[in-house]
Amino acid sequence: MKKESNLIINNPKKLEGSINIPGDKSITHRAIMLGGLSDGTINITNSLLSEDCMRTLIAFRELGVDIQINGEKIVIVGKGIQGLTQPKSQIDAGNSGTMARLLSGILSTQSFDSTISGDESLVTRPMKRIIEPLESFGALIKSNYGKLPMSFEPPTSMKPIVYHSKIPSAQVKSSLILAALNIKGESIISEDIITRDHTERLLSYLEYPFVNDKGVITLQGYKNLVAKDIEIPSDISSAAFFIVAALIKEGSDITLNNIGVNPLRTGIIDVLLEMGGNIKLVNCRTVCNEPVADIRVKHSKLNPVNISGKIISRLIDELPILFIACATCNGLSLIEDVGELRYKESDRIEAMEHGLRELGINIVSTENSLSITGGEFIGGIIDSYGDHRIVMSFLIAGLVSLKPITVLNTSNIDTSFPGFADILIDQKIDLYSI
């Protein structure tokens, strides 16, 4: 389906059969970056060629890396950890916070000047969380009051990184790891709550020597990344929309193929199982150091849930669609420790609160929590706030709405899930552009 600004979902039907989900966004970003820093040629298959990931690909071309796209395969001729060259212009991260923060770690150690910026949404998002630790180890960074654009000057000296992060953010951790690759000496990076470890798994797969002792990462800079082909698993964050869709839509029975089930990303499955969801992982295997499985989901009566604490970092991207699931339950759900949602592509607490109220759901928020009393969706017009996950969450809500749901400003779906609308259409669900 071509890009459209507004979409309306109506006359929903059950979901059935086998569904293929695009490659994992987080891993694709990292595979392109580490591929560019490797020594040799890497073929990346099942990559996600979304707008966000294309920004990373274009950035590495601007940094002197030869990258070709052949269908859904990306071919990268790596330049080595110290082989990048000065870009001719400012690097544009678009809407991608992952790209901006991870690439900042790489740019902070280079022997050339560079600048990175983004779109009107990204330039409002906080970057101090990476600026401050990088500066404390010698990086020379100028920013717009802790936000993009950020400019990097060649550091006069950088000492090894020794940093303990109190923010549960894989982006902060990965930014520091990527910086440490180009810093002489031993760096040690740790965190209060262990976050997704795709960077570490890829480093290990590409044979970069380091030690990971219960989340304490110790590595020496100036080692080599061995060029090896990478197969990207399909994205559990994208699969989550269809997992919830099948659970809430009566009669549904689907299988999602080749989904990455990294235990630091499967919080959404754990919570939905706790709510009574009929979800089974089958054909479990390991692909390029990442656990992968097919996921079978059947319609289920879901119960309210209370969650907080460490589980939140394991489902932070899936919370909007989890809120939709909670809104279909009979009873009160309480989700706490989710203040980080206010600093995503939109303020996702505010966006979901406004949208669910429009659909007739009783919802109360604080700075750091949401309580949702389940009920029936009455239909309505939803402002997506330009956020791809808000769009997709409310389109899924349309599967069980009494009246049609119209979602405004939907073209941003391509940020993470090109083909989302096409899957709905393939499932014989009526989806119209207006």
- In sequence order, the β-bridge partners of residue 279 are 297
Out of 317, 337, 426, 430, the active site residue is 317
- Tell which of 231, 252, 272 closes a domain: 231
The verdict on residue 215 lying in a domain is yes
11 pLDDT more than 90: no
For the chain, what is the domain count? 2
Structural tokens at position 3? 């890009």
- Tell which of 214, 231, 248 closes a domain: 231
pLDDT tens for each residue of 369-397: 999 999 999 999 999 999 999 999 999 99
Residues 6 or more apart whose CB falls under 8 angstroms from that of 278 comprise: 247, 297, 298, 299, 300
246 with 198, same domain?
no
The verdict on residue 349 lying in a domain is yes
284 with 272, same domain?
yes
95 with 213, same domain?
yes
40 with 176, same domain?
yes
- 317 given a catalytic annotation: yes
10 with 67, same domain?
no
149 with 292, same domain?
no
2 pLDDT more than 50: no
Q: Which 3-state string (H, E, C) describes the chain?
A: CCCCCEEEEECCCCCEEEEECCECHHHHHHHHHHHHHCECEEEEECCCCCHHHHHHHHHHHHCCCEEEEECCEEEEECCCCCCCCCCCCCEECCCCHHHHHHHHHHHCCCCCCEEEECCCCHHHCCCHHHHHHHHHCCCEEEECCCCCCEEEECCCCCCCCEEEECCCCHHHHHHHHHHHCCCCCEEEEEECCCCCCHHHHHHHHCCCCEEEECCEEEEECCCCCECCCEECCECHHHHHHHHHHHHHCCCCEEEEEEEECCCCCCHHHHHHHHCCCEEEEEEEEEECCEEEEEEEEECCCCCCCEECHHHHHHCHHHHHHHHHHHHCCCCEEEEECCHHHHHCCCCHHHHHHHHHHHCCCEEEECCCEEEEECCCCCCEEEECCCCHHHHHHHHHHHHHCCCCEEEECCHHHHHCCCCHHHHHHHCCCEEEEC
The verdict on residue 1 lying in a domain is no
Band (71; pLDDT cuts 50, 70, 90): confident
287 with 400, same domain?
yes
Mean of the per-residue pLDDT values of the chain: 96
- Residue 218 sits in which domain range? 25-231
The verdict on residue 408 lying in a domain is yes
122 pLDDT more than 60: yes
Output the pLDDT for position 323: 98
29 with 75, same domain?
yes
412 with 287, same domain?
yes
Report the percentage of the chain scoring pLDDT > 70.
99
Distance between CA atoms of residues 74 and 72, nearest Å: 7
- CATH number assigned to the domain comprising residue 242: 3.65.10.10
Distance between CA atoms of residues 56 and 98, nearest Å: 9
In the chain, the amino acid numbered 185 is: G
Report the percentage of the chain scoring pLDDT > 90.
92
- Tell which of 231, 259, 276 closes a domain: 231
The verdict on residue 73 lying in a domain is yes
272 with 404, same domain?
yes
Distance between CA atoms of residues 11 and 365, nearest Å: 31
Structural tokens at position 97? 């916070």
Output the pLDDT for position 166: 87
144 with 250, same domain?
no
181 with 245, same domain?
no
